[in-house]
Structure formats: structure tokens, C-alpha cells
Structure 1
Amino acid sequence: MPITVKDYSWDETESTVHVTVPLKGVKPNKADIFSTDEYLKVNYPPYLFEVVLYQTVDDAKSTAQVGGGAVVFSLHKKEPGVWSRLTSTQSDDKELMKSKRQQAIEVAHKRAKREQEEKAKAKREQERYTLQQQMKIEGEEKRRIEETKEAERRKATEDLENWNESKLNEQQATTADVTQPPKDPSCIFNNDDGDLPEVKNSQSGTSTVSTQRNEDDLPPAPRLRGNIAVTFTPRVFPTPMRESKAAEEEEWLRKQAEARKPVDIDDPDLTEEEKNPQWLKEKGDGFFKSGNFLAAVNAYNMAARLNGKLPSVYSNRAACHLKLRNFMKCIEDGSKALELLTPPVPANAMSRVRCHIRRGTAFCELELYAEGLQDYEAALKLDPKNEKLKADADRIRQVVQGTLPELD
């Protein structure tokens, strides 16, 4: 049975009430303080202070300070006036005290739930704002890169046009020099009929008409055209029929198709891109590659809230948590991704390998080497030719067997 505290003191003004409860040598961190608009409680075993107030107060404006061996309540009255007493006139009624205590607990729970919801909402808004800002920065950087590329493209085009123009001028100048009449009088022909001049062959003495052009001046012959018929087999997976599991493969394809279906969400605060989980996942991948793991987690969080059936979202978020050293969250996301990567088929084998490695690494970081070894051995069964994976598994096995110090 707790000992009821009765040696408390209090005073009041028109608008406030001050209550001082002695702690009787108990450490301040052992005191459990609870208050509502009409109920006060300080529990510091074996002592208990509990009162139902004479009138209601504004709990949001009221405070409780612990120090100097006492708890001091500063309560703001909802209606100004003098109470003349602290406790309710029905404080001796045990049933009333019990009901007031229960009401106070319910009110406190509702308030805590409301505060938690508001805090979660504020956190989501902050994550959304952060993600939008990151996307805005990335968009501006992308536009800057495109403008730079366009400027380089225009410059290259201008240089090519200038080069073509200079080559054309050189060709015209060469043509003009060739068509000029010869300066040697012996090569001048009288040709009043306007026919082509005859050129005397030095060996045979016969005259031929110069009608041939330089082969370099002729355009290249056109390329031959043709069609190549390409046919594909109707199978999606490349494995032979004797090795494949057609039913499992079809089920995996069906699950992937369902996961990629667009989600209809009526939220005016989200843009059309932000309603696309695949787009958010790709944004998260970009943030991860740039080293911005917190922004990547925010993008993956929004993608998971829109569509919780994409295993790559959980697998990639596990990689982010591993970088941020949130090992328990990494294990949770890795396990969720492995649940979605079913049935096991060759198409998702490497994804399962990555999930096992990430989860196994998180287990080892938590010094749970036996669990980590199980994941590494599972990954090694899927990728037996991976020498680095084999070496890591051997090291963990030695740690489990006690033949090697714990991993750094």
C-alpha cells in the first residue's frame, strides 16, 4: 500500500494556483508526475500524492518543476476567482476518485495519441518537403547540364558548318583554277562550233574528248538496303524447359505485374510523379548513388507507403540503413524484401543474394555472427562462384568457431 502524502502546501491568486509536494528524500528522477485539467498525481514509491482539484485548470498552460526536494505545480485557472480550498468537496468519495483517475488516464492517452499523430504528420511533411527540395536541386542541376550540353552541341555544329564552308571554298577555288584557259599558246584551240576541245594523245597521236571527271569528285555509291527478319521464342526466361519451373516463373511474373500497377491516390498535395512508386524508387536510387542516404530513405519511405509490394524498395532501403548504421531497420527491410522475392526463380536470384548479404552484414555488425553466417551461406548457394563472398563467409565461420577474433 502506498503512503498518502498529506503534508503538501498550496497558495492561490485570482488566476493561478501553486502546489508544493515534498519528495521526502526520494531522487527527482524517481518521481512520476501526471496531471490533467482537474487531476494531479505524483507517484514516488512508497509515497503517493493524488488530488481532484476544486475547479478545472488549463493543463496546457500549467507547469511542474522538480528541484530542491519538491515538485512545484503552477496551475492556471480556467475561470478567475478564489477557490478557498484545493481539493474537490467530494474528494473523500473513493468511487469518485477512481472514476476521475480513469478519466484522467483516458484523457492523457488521447492527448498522447493526438500528439503522436501530429508529430508523425509533421515528420511526414518534413520528409516530403526535404524530398521535394532534393528533387528541385536535382532538377536544376539536370537543367544546367542540359544547357551545357546544348551549348557544346551548338558550338560543335557551328564548327562543322565553318569547316564545311571552308572546304567548299577550297573546292570552288580549285575548280576555278582547272577551268581557266591554258597560258601556253600551243595548247590553244580554235573551236568556233562550241564543242569540247580535243586533246592529242602523246603516244598514238589521236585526239580524244576530255569528258572524264576526277573520281574523287564523284559522290559515293548508295548503300544497298535490305530487311533482316528476327524472331524470338515466346518464353520470358532463358532457361531450358527441362531446368525451368514454369509455374513459379509465371507466378513471379504475375506478382511483378501487379506490383507495377499504378496506384490511384487522391491527395492534392502530391504531384503526378510523387504518386508513382516506381518514379520515387528511381529517385531514391539516384540519391543513394550521390551519397545522400537520408534523402534516399525518404524517397523509399514514400514509395513503400504508396505500394508495399515492390521488393526493390525494401532491398535498397536496407542498403541505406546499412550505410547509416541503422542495423535493426536494415534487418527488417532485408527480411521484408526476401518475403516479396518469392517464389524463388532465376530472375530474382541476384536480388536475393544482395538481400542476404545486407542482412548478414547487419547481423555481424550487431555481433550476431551465427545469424550473419546463415545469410552469407544462403547467398553463397545462389552465387557459388563469387570468390569475395566465399572469403567473407569463411571469415565469419572462423569467428563463430572461435578461431578468429571478432570482425572490426
Structure 2
Amino acid sequence: EGGAKQEVKSQSPADGGTARAGGAHATSSGPAVGTRSSAQLKGDADDAFRNGQLKRACTLYGKALQADSAAEWMQDAAVGGLHFRCQCLANRAACRLKMREYPLCIDDASAALAALSASAETNASSLSLKLLARRGMAYCQMQKYEEARDDYARAVAMDPANEQLAHDLRMIEAQLGS
């Protein structure tokens, strides 16, 4: 598969972030019965990913995104925020890459990259690097080598010491030269 080794780390707001229980159905008096907060859903998704339950993880990342979006719409001051949403998209992209759902992986990675590039997010660099590598791998699997080269070139520019990314870029360039 010729891609950089990727990992999905749990950076759940429940581990010190700001999301609060309740998610989409929260009220000022607390969460509705039977609901899970975006942070809880992401934590469940992270666990499912670690246990190899990729479809479940993908579904739960989507639910975490929906819950966070609904909480923001309801003007909940404790929503996860841009980095949280981009992390969910990045993790769902990793699931989709492993499930060989390459167009969906590209969609998630592209959405997160667009959001990060339009923001002044301080933690964007390492997340952008992961997103570029995942999207580049998906492009390679779809034999879209020009797009893959562009993503890997950006990733190598961000992390020139990463030998795996540099190796993958050389392999893509060799494929384009043949």
C-alpha cells in the first residue's frame, strides 16, 4: 500500500477538553436521557478504532460530528470546536482508508484540511500532516498520482525529517515517471 504509517490518537475533550455531556439533545438543565456528548461519542469511536471495529468507529465519528454541530447550533459554550471536528474527520478518514473507501477518505481529509487552512488553529500543523498523508495514500490507491504527489510534497515540506514521507514521495514520483 506504500503509505506512511499513521496512527489515530485519542484527543478527546473528555480527557481535559471542553465538551460537555448532552450532545444534540442537551438543554440548559443537562443532557437528555439516552444521549451521548460529542466527546463521549468520539471516545467510543476511538475505542472501536483501536479494537479494529472500523465501520462502528466510522459511524461513531459521524455521530460525534453531528452532536458537536448541534451543540454549537444550540449555542452551547462548551462544544468541541474546530480542532475537535477536524480530529473526528481525520480519524474517520483513517477508518475509511483502512476500509478501502478511498473517495470518502479523500472527502473527509479535504473537508478537515479546508477548515484548518481557513483558521488560525494553533494545533493545525500535525493534524494537517496526517490529513495530507492519508489523503495522499487514498489518491495513490485510486491511481491519482498527481494529486498524491501534491499532498506528499506538502507533507514533506511540513516535516522534511520524516523519511517515510520522503520515501513515499519518491515512489510516487517514480510511478509518474514511468
TM-score, normalisation: structure 1: 0.33
Q: Please list, as runs of the form range in 1=range in 2, the aligned pairs for 1:42-191 lying within 5 A after superposition.
A: none
Q: Residue 375 of structure 1 corresponds to which residue in structure 2?
A: 151
Amino acid at match of 1:265: H
Once the two structures are TM-superposed, the CA of residue 269 in structure 1 deviates from its matched residue by 8.0
Amino acid at match of 1:348: A
Q: Are 2:49 and 1:288 equivalent residues in the alignment?
A: yes
Specify whether residues 393 and 270 from structure 1 end up closer, same or farther in structure 2 by C-alpha distance, changes over 3 A only.
farther
Identify which of 154, 162, 168 aligns with 1:386. 162
Identify which of 320, 328, 331 aligns with 2:106. 331
Once the two structures are TM-superposed, the CA of residue 290 in structure 1 deviates from its matched residue by 1.0
Once the two structures are TM-superposed, the CA of residue 340 in structure 1 deviates from its matched residue by 2.4
Specify whether residues 279 and 395 from structure 1 end up closer, same or farther in structure 2 by C-alpha distance, changes over 3 A only.
same
Identify which of 96, 101, 110 aligns with 1:321. 96
Q: Highest relative contact order (Cα 8 Å, sep 6+), 1 or 2?
A: 2
Once the two structures are TM-superposed, the CA of residue 261 in structure 1 deviates from its matched residue by 6.8
Indicate if the aligned counterparts of 2:24 and 2:68 stay in contact, CA closer than 8 A: no
Specify whether residues 344 and 359 from structure 1 end up closer, same or farther in structure 2 by C-alpha distance, changes over 3 A only.
farther
Q: Residue 47 of structure 1 corresponds to which residue in structure 2?
A: none
Q: Distance in 1 between matches of 2:24 and 2:120?
A: 30
Specify whether residues 299 and 264 from structure 1 end up closer, same or farther in structure 2 by C-alpha distance, changes over 3 A only.
closer
Where 1:296 maps in the other structure, the secondary structure is: helix
Paired positions, count: 143
Once the two structures are TM-superposed, the CA of residue 299 in structure 1 deviates from its matched residue by 0.7
Q: Please list, as runs of the form range in 1=range in 2, the aligned pairs for 1:257-272 lying within 5 A after superposition.
A: 260=19, 263=23, 265=25, 271-272=34-35
Q: Residue 399 of structure 1 corresponds to which residue in structure 2?
A: 175
Q: Distance in 2 between matches of 1:401 and 1:346?
A: 37
Amino acid at match of 2:92: R
Q: Distance in 2 between matches of 1:313 and 1:264?
A: 16
Q: Distance in 2 between matches of 1:374 and 1:386?
A: 16
Amino acid at match of 2:25: I
Amino acid at match of 1:339: A
Q: Are 2:131 and 1:362 equivalent residues in the alignment?
A: no
Once the two structures are TM-superposed, the CA of residue 313 in structure 1 deviates from its matched residue by 0.6
Q: Residue 351 of structure 1 corresponds to which residue in structure 2?
A: 127
Q: Deviations over 1:41-86 (max 9, x none)?
A: xxxxxxxxxxxxxxxxxxxxxxxxxxxxxxxxxxxxxxxxxxxxxx
Once the two structures are TM-superposed, the CA of residue 307 in structure 1 deviates from its matched residue by 2.1
Return the structure number with greater helix share: 2
Once the two structures are TM-superposed, the CA of residue 264 in structure 1 deviates from its matched residue by 5.2
Indicate if the aligned counterparts of 2:24 and 2:66 stay in contact, CA closer than 8 A: no
Q: Residue 93 of structure 1 corresponds to which residue in structure 2?
A: none
Amino acid at match of 2:44: K
Query: In terms of Rg, which structure is larger?
Result: 1
Once the two structures are TM-superposed, the CA of residue 346 in structure 1 deviates from its matched residue by 5.5
Q: What value does the CA root-mean-square deviation take over the aligned residues?
A: 2.4
Where 2:157 maps in the other structure, the secondary structure is: helix
Specify whether residues 296 and 311 from structure 1 end up closer, same or farther in structure 2 by C-alpha distance, changes over 3 A only.
same
Q: Distance in 2 between matches of 1:295 and 1:277?
A: 15
Amino acid at match of 1:271: G
Amino acid at match of 1:294: K
Amino acid at match of 2:103: M
Once the two structures are TM-superposed, the CA of residue 397 in structure 1 deviates from its matched residue by 0.7
Specify whether residues 270 and 397 from structure 1 end up closer, same or farther in structure 2 by C-alpha distance, changes over 3 A only.
farther
Specify whether residues 384 and 261 from structure 1 end up closer, same or farther in structure 2 by C-alpha distance, changes over 3 A only.
farther
Q: Distance in 2 between matches of 1:398 and 1:373?
A: 10
Return the structure number with greater strand share: 1
Specify whether residues 346 and 387 from structure 1 end up closer, same or farther in structure 2 by C-alpha distance, changes over 3 A only.
farther
Q: Are 2:54 and 1:279 equivalent residues in the alignment?
A: no
Once the two structures are TM-superposed, the CA of residue 271 in structure 1 deviates from its matched residue by 2.3
Q: Distance in 1 between matches of 2:122 and 2:97?
A: 26
Amino acid at match of 1:307: D
TM-score, normalisation: structure 2: 0.72
